[in-house]
Amino acid sequence: MNENTDIIQQQRQKILSLLKEKSVLKQDVFSNTINVFNNFKDQSKTIANDLKTQVSSIDKRVSIQYSEVNQFAYQLKIAGDVLEFFMHTNVFELEKSSPLYKSPYIKQNPLNAYCGIIYVYNFMADSFKFNRLNDIGILIARIFINKENHFFVETKLPFATKYSNFSLEPLNITTIKEIINELIIFAIQFDLTTPPFDSVKEITINEINERTSWITLRTGKRLGFVSDSNNEDEINFQL
C-alpha cells in the first residue's frame, strides 16, 4: 500500500513538474506571439493608410486596404493582391532535424525551440471579390516567435537569409515594418503567369452555362513549376 502511495506521489510530482515547465512555457510563447501579431496588425494598418494616401495622388483606381478577419487573422489588400496574415493558436517545437536546433542558442536552452507561428499567404484580390473558392493562395512566409520574444522567418523570398536564424534581440517594431514591406514588395512584383494550355483545356457544361463561368476557373500564382509527362504543373514551394 505504501509502495503504491509512493508511486502516485512521484507521478503527481512529475505531472506538476511538467506543467510548470511545458504548460507555463507554452503560455509565455502564446502571449509573446499574440503580442507580436497585434503589432503586425497595427503596423500593417499604418502602412496601408500611408500607402493609400500616397497612391491616391497617383491613381485612385489602385486600392489599398487593411481589414481584420478575426482575432487571429487579418488581410492587407495591395492593388490586385491580398496578404493574409494568420496566427496559429498552438505552440510548436522545432524539428530536431532543423539546423536551428543545433545552434548554441537552443543547445544552451532547449526550451527556446518552442515557438508560436504567424503564417503569411499571398492571394489574388479577385479571388475574394468574386468568391472564387477554388483559387489558391501561396504560403510566402512563416514567422516564428519563442519565449524570449526572439524570432526567425522561414521563407524563400529575397530577404530569406537576413532573418533565417534566431534574432540576437527581441522582435521590435522597426523589424516588423521591414518584414511587412518586404512581403508587400514581393506580392506586387510576383505576377500571374499564363497557365499551360493543357491545364485549362477542359471545362464542364455547367461552368459554361453559368453567367460567371469565366471566374470559376481555378486561378493562382505559381512560385515554380515542375513539369511531368502529362504537362501538368504543380506548385513546388512548400514551407
Mean pLDDT of 3-13: 83
The tens digit of pLDDT for each residue in 186-216 reads: 998 876 666 677 766 666 666 656 545 445 5
DSSP assignment letter at 39: H
Q: What's the pTM?
A: 0.80
Alpha helices in the chain (DSSP H): 2-18, 24-56, 104-108, 125-129, 173-189, 205-209
Contacts with 233 (C-beta within 8 Å, 6 or more apart), sequence order:
195, 196, 199, 222, 225, 226, 227
- Contact in structure between 201 and 101 (CB atoms under 8 Å): no
Residue spans of the domains in the chain: they are 15-191
**pLDDT given for residue 198 in this prediction:** 75
**pLDDT given for residue 204 in this prediction:** 67
19-39 burial, b for 16+ CB within 10 Å, e for fewer? eeeeeebbebbbebbbebbeb
